[in-house]
C-alpha cells in the first residue's frame, strides 16, 4: 500500500523570507536606476570588424576593437592539443586490436562471426544464450 506524502509543518521560513527580501531589494534597485538611451553601433559591418580584430588588422576595421590575435592562437593550440590527444587515444596497438576503455569481455554478438568459433557447442543464432 502506498501512502501519500505528508506536508512538513515544522519548517523554518526564514530562508524563504530572506530570499524574498533580497528579490525586493534587487527589483527596487533595478527599477530606480537611471539608464541612458542605448546608442548602438556605428554604421559598418560588425562581423567584418570582429574578423579584422581577431587577426590583428584593426586598421582596416570600420568599428574600432581590441586585438584578439593572442586569444586566437591560444585557442588554436588548445584545439590542436585536443586533436592530438584524440588521435593518440584512438591509435591501434601493434597487434592491430582497437584499444578501448570499455569492452564486452571478448564475447561474440548474435549473428556475428562463424558458428564454428564457439567452444561451448552453442550456435550464434540462439541469441548468445548458453
pTM of the model: 0.31
Q: Is residue 120 part of a domain?
A: no
Nearest to 53 by CA among 63, 35, 67, 38: 67
As for how many domains the chain has, the answer is 1
The Cα 111–Cα 108 span in angstroms is: 9
Residues 128 and 107: beta-carbon distance below 8 Å? yes
The Cα 101–Cα 107 span in angstroms is: 16
Q: Is residue 54 part of a domain?
A: yes
What pLDDT was estimated at residue 2? Answer: 74
Nearest to 51 by CA among 35, 40, 65, 31: 65
Q: Is residue 97 part of a domain?
A: yes
Q: Is residue 13 part of a domain?
A: no
Rg (CA), the chain: 32
What pLDDT was estimated at residue 95? Answer: 60
Q: Is residue 93 part of a domain?
A: yes
The rounded Cα 100 to chain-centroid distance in angstroms is 22
Q: Is residue 94 part of a domain?
A: yes
Q: Is residue 61 part of a domain?
A: yes
Q: Is residue 90 part of a domain?
A: yes
Per residue in 4-32, pLDDT (tens digit) is 888 888 888 999 999 999 999 999 999 99
Per the structure, the complete domain to which residue 66 belongs is given by: 44-101
Per residue in 45-84, pLDDT (tens digit) is 888 888 888 877 878 888 877 777 778 888 999 999 999 9
Amino acid at each position: 500500500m502506498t501512502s501519500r506524502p505528508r506536508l512538513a509543518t515544522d519548517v523554518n521560513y526564514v530562508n524563504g523570507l530572506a530570499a524574498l527580501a533580497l528579490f525586493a531589494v534587487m527589483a527596487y534597485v533595478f527599477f530606480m536606476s537611471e539608464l541612458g538611451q542605448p546608442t548602438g553601433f556605428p554604421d559598418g559591418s560588425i562581423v567584418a570588424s570582429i574578423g579584422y580584430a581577431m587577426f590583428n588588422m584593426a586598421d582596416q576595421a570600420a568599428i574600432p576593437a581590441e586585438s584578439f590575435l593572442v586569444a586566437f592562437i591560444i585557442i588554436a593550440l588548445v584545439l590542436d592539443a585536443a586533436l592530438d590527444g584524440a588521435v593518440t587515444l584512438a591509435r591501434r596497438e601493434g597487434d592491430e586490436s582497437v584499444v578501448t576503455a570499455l569492452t564486452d569481455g571478448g564475447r561474440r554478438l548474435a549473428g556475428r562471426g562463424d558458428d564454428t568459433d564457439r567452444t561451448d557447442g552453442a550456435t550464434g543464432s540462439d541469441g548468445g544464450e548458453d
